Amino acid sequence: MSSFPAVRGRRLRATPALRRLVAETRLHPADLVLPVFVREGISDEAPIASMPGVSHHSLESLKPALARAAEAGIGGVMLFGVPLDEKKDGAGTSATDPEGILNAATRAAVAEVGDALVVQTDLCLDEFTDHGHCGVLGAGGEVDNDATLERYRDMAVVQAEAGSQLIAPSGMMDGQVAAIRDALDSHGFADRAILAYAAKYASAFYGPFREAVQSSLSGDRRTYQMDNGNRREGLREVGLDLEEGADIVMVKPAMSYLDVLADVAATSDVPVWAYQISGEYSMMQAAAANGWIDLDAASYESVLGIKRAGADAILTYWAVDLAERLTGRSAPERSIR
């Protein structure tokens, strides 16, 4: 007579080799994209206080950081430019200056690692405006959607001219993907792909990022970023971006919106990415600094969870660290208890 119980799930958890063999979800370094902040007016790497382990880079310190990322085998880098305060204005004009910090950094990155990594550029005005919003303002102080699209068109062309291989509009303006696609195509850049921040939610977890880009924002972005409670609307926004020609769609943030990510992954016929944002990263860094969690284990588990929910690739500040650990050990559960 068979002993009870006949079905024993633990059989397939008995050894590291068995667990590895039957794993349903796996992380690979190529799944990971590293966000990188390049700041004007500094001569060396400068740590960001609210994001331990993350720094502002100068154009010179950017090069070894890119080389390390390429050596780790990650999929790409997402560049953010941080201009001098005195170069910020209402229209974010330094965003379309070919010699502006983001465009200069893009050229440097393409020259350094363009054959090894996908060099990607964030397309948004918040870093470049003196009011900190993602678009230009109308007479009443509101963000003018259609006037902003004209700025986005110009930004896309300048970024493409600088060598960006994947242009990523993150401002959540209506029609931004269509406007950028038209601008790129009409200027001879039909080969450049668009990563749409398609379902981007207003979030309390963006705080450290605001320091990282030295945002001048007063108020909030709730008239254009999505409401936290809206799940179906996330699918609607993704659908609109797909109709407009998005090559990849993204859900941001990741942690609190895994249901939206899973919905999108179940229906999208293009790659689906997610962004593990600054607050998610900084919370775990702080907990680890206090000895409350094992950072290696928690960072791996958090990114694996995003992959399990359906992300084909993940933007994470741990991209290089995770990639180095994935390739430097025999099993990804090295430090998991």
Residues labelled catalytic? 200, 252
Instruction: State the first-to-last Cα distance of the chain, in angstroms, to the nearest integer.
Output: 36
H helix or E strand, kind and range, residue 79: strand 76-82
Residue 63 identity (one-letter amino acid): K
The whole-angstrom separation of Cα 329 and Cα 277 is 26
Query: In 3-state terms, what secondary structure has residue 76?
Result: strand
Q: Which helix (H) or strand (E) holds 306?
A: helix 295-308
What distance in Å separates the CA atoms of residue 184 and residue 194, rounded to the nearest whole number? Answer: 10
Q: How far is CA 231 from CA 238, 260, 302, in A?
A: 11, 6, 21
CA 304 to chain centre: 16
Neighbour count for residue 62 (Cβ, 10 Å) = 23
Who's near 55: CB < 8 A, 6+ residues apart? Answer: 37, 45, 46, 47, 48, 61
CB neighbour list of residue 304: distance below 8 Å, 6 or more residues apart: 25, 27
- Among 168, 164, 183, 155, smallest CA distance to 273 is for 168
Number of H helices, E strands in the chain: 11, 10
Contacts of 231 (CB under 8 A, 6+ apart): 259, 260, 263
Distance CA 76, CA 38 (A): 15
